[in-house]
Structure 1
Amino acid sequence: MTTGGEALVQTLSALGVHTLFGLPGVQNDYLYNAIYDMNAARAPEERLRVIHTRHEQGAGYMALGYALAGNCPGVFVVVPGPGFLNASAALATAYGLNAKVLCLSGQLRRDQLGRGYGMLHEIPDQLGVMRRLTKWAERVRTPDEASRLVLAAFNAMLSDRPRPVALECPMDVFSGQTSQEPGPFSLAVRRPQVDLDRVRAAAALLAKAQEPMILVGGGAQDASEEVATLAALLQAPVIATANGRGVLSSRHYLSHTLPAGHRLWAKTDVVLAVGTRMTMPLLYWGVDEDLTIIRVDVDPEEHTRILSPDVSLVADSRDALRALIPEVEARIRPRASRRAEMMALRHEMETEFERLQPQVTFLRTIRDVLPENGIFVDELTQVGYVSRFAFPVYEPRTYLTPGYQGTLGWGFAAGLGAKVAQPHRTVVTVSGDGGFLFAAQELATAVQHKIDTINIVFNDGAYGNVRRMQKEQYGGRVIASELHNPDFVAFAESFGALGLRATTPESLALAMEQALYQGGPTVIEVPVGEMPSPWQTIFMPRVRGRS
């Protein structure tokens, strides 16, 4: 006989889950018992690693960072009610980022569900809340269902458009017995078939384009080689959204970010949008009858959410581009290199970005020290905002950002998860003093589990963006935006981490090099003053037609 908890963890292990983030508690104790017993029977290298955090939001964000950096499912376990709700911002962020995350929550006993008895951690309709924050959610109602529903969760998470999923499991299901052996464990992941007629129509339009553009988002992260090949054929600039950074290396002369895309938008005749919502161009930059739009997106709803494209390819980005490349090759004549033009544009944009000091110089310093395959985790801070368009990124999945959710405080914990997924890569997070303290207690997790990240805290003593807006837009009505902070160096040292302080870009470089040399979790405080606004370089005006 096997318990529901044992069936569940055996299935997770069989599906390739090696790490689990979370917090134990009364409603999931039997799950942790099952993990302990399974690990006790295995060699150390075959065990399921359990990283217990100091707060459920930390568990959720670590699973998210793990999924984004590792391109594999991130799993976290929490108790129901307040435990689940504490992690719900991470689920919302994972949903916006199309991340492969599984939330596994305990639950009350089956005979107590929905009764309103006021049992420990009880909230109304937790499953309903889960379903609104995920792609798929279900309750494990009997121990016999445990293995099957884990498999169903993975199939849902990985099929078509990846997004987070959730399972809740009553405590008596975790502890209950089943005679069914877990398995079979074969996944049945769905991906839409590429419509070859539409591929040929897209290829014909691209081959005739005089000023083509490729716009890439997070959905293109696994199509890096294909994007590079197609861009070279078309001599088309590749414009990366924040989520699309790293799809084409910043070293490539055709690689640019959104401000450069805005400069080119008015004269673009055909845009190929790959794995992106196209929010900025369609809602802010404008379109007209002279612009042809080709969209590649695995989710059919995204194709017409704002504006119907001329050609719609509902497919995985890599599948669609692999079909598109030979069709373009068959129709196009060799094109002259645009290297000189594109490098001039890059120089022009870099010159414009120089007004955003000291952010740009700090970012240049971080890039100089961070290895080429190192991972940079963006946060909602002045340096983070500028990084979205001014920080060079050389490989896919090495620039992590919270996307449109804008979840302040995600970065430190997400960076820990990224480091667990990629232990041999350097991970650097940037935070403001406000955002860092959202999850700073996870320094204890980093030290205990030996998760060595470099965490740079730009300390301006405020929610800096809010304070600047209060001064500039609301007549100096500064309220609830100035902060009292600890000594961040002493704070880090109190956990057993390395604490350093840098006051200039040069001293930041030295501090980062010391952190790399010494190893261990590191916090580098960088005291700063008020910084110039980046928003005019992010929300750019209409340059063509109707919005």
Structure 2
Amino acid sequence: MADFLEAERVGTDDTTKGGNKSRSGAAAIVEAMHASGIEYVFGYSGGGTGSLIHEIATTGMKNMNARTEIAGAWMSYGFNRIKGRAASACLFHCVGILHASAAALAAKTDSTPLILSYVSLDSALDLREGLQDSTEVFHAMKPLAKYARKLVVADDAPLSIRQAVIAASTGRPGSAVLDFAFQVLVDNTTCAVEPLTLPEPPAASAATIDKIIQAIRKAKRPIILAGAGVQHALGAEQLREFAEAANIPVVSTSWGGRGLLADSHPLYAGVMGSFGWVGANTIAQEADLWITIGTSFSQMTTGAWNLAKPAEIVQIDIDPNQLGKIFQPSLGVVGDAKVVLEQLTDAVAQLNPPLTDEATATARRKDVAQSQQEWREYLGRLSAEGGNPINQYHVLKKMSDILPKGTIVVGDSGGQAYMLYRAFQYSESTPMIVGGRYQSLGAGLSIAAGAKLADPEKTVVCYHGDGGFYYDAMELSTLAERKIKVIVIIDNNHCLYANRQGMTLWGIQNPWVDMPKDVDLVALAKAQGVDGEKVTDAADIGPAIERALAAEGSYIIDVWTDPETRIKRAFRDVIPILTDRKPEQGVERHMSPPLEGSWPN
């Protein structure tokens, strides 16, 4: 039926209207993609997608078909995180879009620009039980997205692309879902397409900047708490300039803010939160002012709200709904992280006398140096021994020592990612392209592939768990086919690590956390055209990484690691289970902890 409708409709009307040439809705959609700054389309063929794929392929739009819809969505996610906007889009058939639903929710939750489009049946079939009837699909996808529209008229199609790019890219970024009924692609339209220029990101008022400066002047121990919002705004350089101009220590959130500054920067006090540095948590809790930029004060960042906060907090965020969401800040500021940081740096440069005197600046840097030294010594003890099975911290130390500066490291969801973003040593400012709030297992490899496509000159490494690797291993064939080089290092402890630790501490017998030992992951990779090796001796880790770097294409390193390695939290007197509650609240309440107030101190 759908093929018949396409044959009947395409090319039946060459008229013009208002000087605009008539063309198919599919042609208008792709024209709008080009005009809206979309550079790449990831997708999966099916059903009525043919006319759109034809326009994509014949108009110079870069495109790639992944092995599954969810992999294509995660590739677009990674691509857009590097670009800082909706620079790519996805195209699927209606049956396949639900496979990408996890990425849609992750993008909305983790503030990532993502456009998911799909083709549903001709709406004439809505009441007729058509094959692959998808009338309910849009209602399932809409709650997962920041922006969602169902299109039934070809004239609306170009506008929907424009609105989706704006919604996904501006304010707090998120996912946009477009449902194109089949007739939209094959009917003709004369609707004009305009080039899209995204609006300028919002700045703070001069009066607000002055209030922040005055708050810093009054404080004796201020810190900057930088989160994912600074990464989203591509504001790492502006963060460094402001911190140096004001001589204020910086702590980052444990996932989203990692890589904003080099770990050795003289003002970087470390990672705050459950999987952070003890010294950074101490500096944060001893501060009398937090200048927070682009953080939502999540469970992981605050140790489930056990961390003591100061009375004075300036909260800067692009999303007004974040301001005062959990507690009342002293000053809430709506603004783009990069823009506001530039404003603050300019304001500090004009001050006379300077914002921070030399003695105070020296003392603050000394505190930071102590935090860094304590962390290096602790990490040194964790990573010194290779072990048998191999100690994961030793693997991360070798990665830090050998991988080139600026390597983009992508951790798949799981226990290994918590260790990665805590212990991997960033030697220079580096993009963070994953969010830990809703990233599902099996996202890492595809996100890494998208990042490599967006920044081909960078070395990109996916640090995978064996559990997650079973989800996306088939994308190795995509890497081989497209000649995309990603180094995949598998933390293969033959279990679902985070689950195994938690269940064991609860005394729960759960055989589902165990993974097989007799699967040859390297052979699986080689069958798909990707070379690699298995490492069971710690002495072989460094040479294996060197061989991976020298390889022409993608390379897999299957490292057999220790399932007993503990992910120790960075808070004292907190039971290290999912919600990190204090002991007096009882082990039995960890899954539904009682909270006294919005953030009890």
With normalisation by structure 2, the TM-score equals 0.84
Structure 1 unaligned spans of 5+:
39-46
Structural mapping, 1:39-438, within 5 Å: 47-73=60-86, 74-81=88-95, 83-113=96-126, 115=127, 117-180=128-191, 182-189=192-199, 191-221=201-231, 222-241=234-253, 242-255=255-268, 256-258=270-272, 259=277, 260-279=279-298, 280-281=301-302, 283-287=304-308, 291-329=311-349, 330=351, 332-335=355-358, 336-337=361-362, 338-354=364-380, 356-357=382-383, 358-438=391-471
Rounded to whole Å, the distance in 2 between the matches of 1:397 and 1:343 is 21
**Residues 90 and 119 from structure 1, CA distance in 2 versus in 1: closer, same or farther, beyond 3 angstroms?**
same
- The amino acid that maps onto 1:345 is S
Q: Is 1:444 aligned to residue 454 of structure 2?
A: no
Are the equivalent residues in 1 in contact too, given 2:382–2:393 (CA < 8 A)? yes
The alignment's C-alpha RMSD in Å is 2.2
Are the equivalent residues in 2 in contact too, given 1:282–1:307 (CA < 8 A)? no
Rounded to whole Å, the distance in 2 between the matches of 1:13 and 1:415 is 24
Rounded to whole Å, the distance in 2 between the matches of 1:215 and 1:383 is 24
**Residues 447 and 282 from structure 1, CA distance in 2 versus in 1: closer, same or farther, beyond 3 angstroms?**
closer
Deviations 1:272-295 (A, max 9, x none): 00011122338523446x521001
Deviations 1:22-60 (A, max 9, x none): 10111211111222332xxxxxxxx21221111111001
Are the equivalent residues in 2 in contact too, given 1:8–1:147 (CA < 8 A)? yes
Structural mapping, 1:433-472, within 5 Å: 433-472=466-505
Are the equivalent residues in 2 in contact too, given 1:141–1:173 (CA < 8 A)? yes
Are the equivalent residues in 1 in contact too, given 2:392–2:561 (CA < 8 A)? no
Q: Is 1:498 aligned to residue 508 of structure 2?
A: no
Are the equivalent residues in 2 in contact too, given 1:134–1:165 (CA < 8 A)? yes
**Residues 236 and 333 from structure 1, CA distance in 2 versus in 1: closer, same or farther, beyond 3 angstroms?**
closer
Larger RCO: Structure 1 or Structure 2 (Cα < 8 Å, ≥ 6 residues apart)? 1
Point out the more displaced range, 355-364 or 20-29: 355-364
**Residues 394 and 120 from structure 1, CA distance in 2 versus in 1: closer, same or farther, beyond 3 angstroms?**
farther
Deviations 1:212-243 (A, max 9, x none): 11111111122222221222233322111110
**Residues 53 and 325 from structure 1, CA distance in 2 versus in 1: closer, same or farther, beyond 3 angstroms?**
same
Rounded to whole Å, the distance in 2 between the matches of 1:66 and 1:303 is 29
Deviations 1:427-448 (A, max 9, x none): 1011111101111111111111
Aligned residues: 532
Q: Once the 2 structures are TM-superposed, how far is the Cα of residue 190 of structure 1 from its aligned partner?
A: 5.8
- The amino acid that maps onto 1:332 is L
Are the equivalent residues in 2 in contact too, given 1:213–1:236 (CA < 8 A)? yes
- Tell me the SS of whatever aligns to 2:286: coil
- Tell me the SS of whatever aligns to 1:87: helix
Structural mapping, 1:450-529, within 5 Å: 450-474=483-507, 477-484=509-516, 486-529=519-562
Structure 2 unaligned spans of 5+:
1-21, 384-390, 583-598
Are the equivalent residues in 2 in contact too, given 1:233–1:334 (CA < 8 A)? no
Rounded to whole Å, the distance in 2 between the matches of 1:60 and 1:244 is 23
Identity percentage over the alignment? 24
Rounded to whole Å, the distance in 2 between the matches of 1:238 and 1:508 is 33
Q: Once the 2 structures are TM-superposed, how far is the Cα of residue 541 of structure 1 from its aligned partner?
A: 7.0
1:29 — aligned with what?
A: 50
- Tell me the SS of whatever aligns to 1:376: strand
Deviations 1:225-279 (A, max 9, x none): 2221222233322111110112222230221111233111331100000011122
**Residues 285 and 195 from structure 1, CA distance in 2 versus in 1: closer, same or farther, beyond 3 angstroms?**
farther
1:536 — aligned with what?
A: 569
Rounded to whole Å, the distance in 2 between the matches of 1:439 and 1:417 is 14
Rounded to whole Å, the distance in 2 between the matches of 1:159 and 1:396 is 24
Q: Once the 2 structures are TM-superposed, how far is the Cα of residue 536 of structure 1 from its aligned partner?
A: 2.0
With normalisation by structure 1, the TM-score equals 0.92
Are the equivalent residues in 2 in contact too, given 1:158–1:189 (CA < 8 A)? no
Q: Once the 2 structures are TM-superposed, how far is the Cα of residue 108 of structure 1 from its aligned partner?
A: 1.1
